[in-house]
Chain A
Amino acid sequence: MDTIVSLFLIFIGAALINNFVLHYFVGICPFIGVSRRVDLAFGMGCAVTFVIGIAATLSWTLTFYILRPEAPLSAWLWNSMGADPTTVVDLSILSYIAYIFVIASSVQFVEMYVKKFFPSLHRSFGVFLPLISTNCAILFACLEIMKNLQGGDQLWGLHHALALSLGGGVGFTIAIVIMAGLREELELCDVPKALKGPGIALLVAGILAMAFMGFTGVDRGVADAIRTLTQH
């Protein structure tokens, strides 16, 4: 029960309360660049969610078994190579490079797979896939997972990592689709010349961020509600 509640809270937290785009400012470049039409924006959002799930799985596996302090595989290698047994193996210095490897390769793999087996899907959002490999949102999700695997108690399992990353992806999709809808409306408005394009998009994003601030505290409220409900 507790796990499900915590998974739900992580998901909602990443999607709405600490929205990746509007609270953590990751994934701004596609947010401003690709959000001109709702269908394109939705395609981008789906692509990001898909890739973020895959990248999170791979990076969690990598971090849990090799990169974190006292990881099983590296500890075994460490000891078998005759290192000082009182010191702890910590290969987290390799994290950034390893994550980039994993993200770039998985994006490439997904692109090839989609091109072969879903050509119509590839036609609609295949063009976004190379853009995603340098998307901050994916690396940010991996970094958050790494933060929660740093040591001691409450290490995140794969389910937590997936909840965070898919929540982040869904939040990104929500934000970018709302933004695209707003920008489609903005096309008909009389925007001052200096603010045309990214200027007005940023101002509108600011107001949207203010709206999303209204979700603050929802996770605590929901957690308290569930706790009181399950106590009876």
Chain B
Amino acid sequence: MDNTLITILLSAGILLVIAVLMALILGWANIAFHVPTDPKVAAVNEILPGANCGGCGFVGCSEYAEAVANGKAAATLCGPGGQDAANRIAETLGLDLGQTWPFKAVVHCSAKREQRLKQTPYFGEQSCAAANLVPGIQGCVYGCLGYGDCQDVCEYGAIDMVDGLAIIDVDKCTGCRACEKACPRGIITMIPFKTEEVLVVTCSNKDKGVLVKDVCTVGCIGCSACTKPADGLIEMVNDLPVVNYDKDSSGIDLHKSIEKCPRESLMFIGLHKDKKKAQGEPERIEANFATTVDQTEWRG
């Protein structure tokens, strides 16, 4: 036989033999090493976004999928997946969800840098974790330091440092809790947004009013003026108001509580700020000189 032909036949033959051998070995291994996996776990894993952010409290999306499929975790813990993922998981597993709300991060401080008193110049590492170790860096030992550890760790661009205060855009927040873990003072917490606007206490200073006035121009002085219009929704704990988010807030006008507050310790934080602006705010009334001038009848 011709050499070329033999080479071709030999090549094809050897490759075929290797392929068949590998196929047999892998086929055997597939059965011999089979680990029974729950198809439900795979189905839930498909639904999850796969970001492995850890916001649900599990190490990765596959861990959470396993926990949910085995009924060991609620279906609503995925922040980035949101309500959509929770609904689809419930549908896949045949669960009844009940009412769920998105949990978003809020900062419990409203003092911008010029409103904080007794600050000392700091030239160390520009990080909240480092600055927190310096005694006397600012008067208030509870409030925001403003060096942006939370902003650095947010992968969704939801946090902005404005005048040394962290401002969270709740529309961009996915509830992954990275900022909650990053804040060394622990003043970022997750709040359920049951309505479009939620009342948030924007102060974390647990000291008495006279001491607060020394360290901050806008911190809570514990006067309890906000608790009366709130009809039991707000309680004073440690000289600080605490909002009970589990209670039904319909019928209570919390704007009054904000009005009663002599400082800036209560605030409404809302979803879809832009939509609200487009719908709610009154338009600026422009003076129309034509109507006031031209239609006046001159009486000579």
Q: Give yes or no for direct A-B contact (beta carbon below 8 Å).
A: yes
| Complex interface: chain A residues within 8 A of B3 (CB) | 83-84, 87
Nearest CB of B to A33, in Å = 15
B interface footprint on A66-106 (CB within 8 Å = 1, 0 otherwise): 10000000100110011110010101011001100110010
Option from B10, B15, B29 in Cβ contact (under 8 Å) with A78: B10
CB-nearest residue of chain B to A113: B33
Q: Are B22 and A101 in contact (CB under 8 A)?
A: yes
Interface range, A side: 20 to 34
A115 at the binding interface (Cβ < 8 Å) = yes
Known: A77-B10, A84-B3, A94-B14. A112 touches B22 (CB 8 A): no
| Complex interface: chain B residues within 8 A of A188 (CB) | 125
A109 at the binding interface (Cβ < 8 Å) = yes
B252 at the binding interface (Cβ < 8 Å) = no
Q: Are A81 and B11 in contact (CB under 8 A)?
A: no
Q: Within A98-124, which residues are at the interface with B (CB < 8 Å)? A: 98, 101-102, 105, 108-109, 112-113, 115-117, 119
Known: A115-B35, A116-B35. A81 touches B10 (CB 8 A): yes
Q: Which of A62, A81, A98 has the most CB of B within 10 A?
A: A81
| Complex interface: chain B residues within 8 A of A112 (CB) | 26, 29-30, 33
Q: Are B11 and A78 in contact (CB under 8 A)?
A: no
A interface footprint on B218-262 (CB within 8 Å = 1, 0 otherwise): 000000000000000000000000000000000000000000000
| Complex interface: chain B residues within 8 A of A78 (CB) | 6, 10
Known: A74-B10, A74-B14, A94-B11. A101 touches B1 (CB 8 A): no
CB-nearest residue of chain B to A73: B14
CA distance A115 to B32 in the complex (A): 12
Nearest CB of B to A59, in Å = 11
| Complex interface: chain B residues within 8 A of A105 (CB) | 22, 25-26
CA distance A108 to B23 in the complex (A): 11
CA distance A86 to B3 in the complex (A): 11
Known: A81-B9, A91-B14, A109-B25. A101 touches B33 (CB 8 A): no
Nearest CB of A to B97, in Å = 29
Nearest CB of A to B7, in Å = 8
Known: A81-B1, A109-B26. A94 touches B33 (CB 8 A): no
Nearest CB of A to B18, in Å = 6
Q: Are A101 and B18 in contact (CB under 8 A)?
A: yes
| Complex interface: chain A residues within 8 A of B42 (CB) | none
Nearest CB of B to A187, in Å = 10
List chain A positions with a Cβ less than 8 A from chain B: 62, 66, 74, 77-78, 81-84, 87, 89, 91, 93-94, 97-98, 101-102, 105, 108-109, 112-113, 115-117, 119, 188
List chain B positions with a Cβ less than 8 A from chain A: 1, 3, 6-7, 9-11, 14-15, 18-19, 22, 25-26, 29-30, 33-35, 125
In the A-B complex, the 3 residue pairs with the smallest Cβ-Cβ separation, listed nearest first, are A116-B33, A112-B33, A105-B22
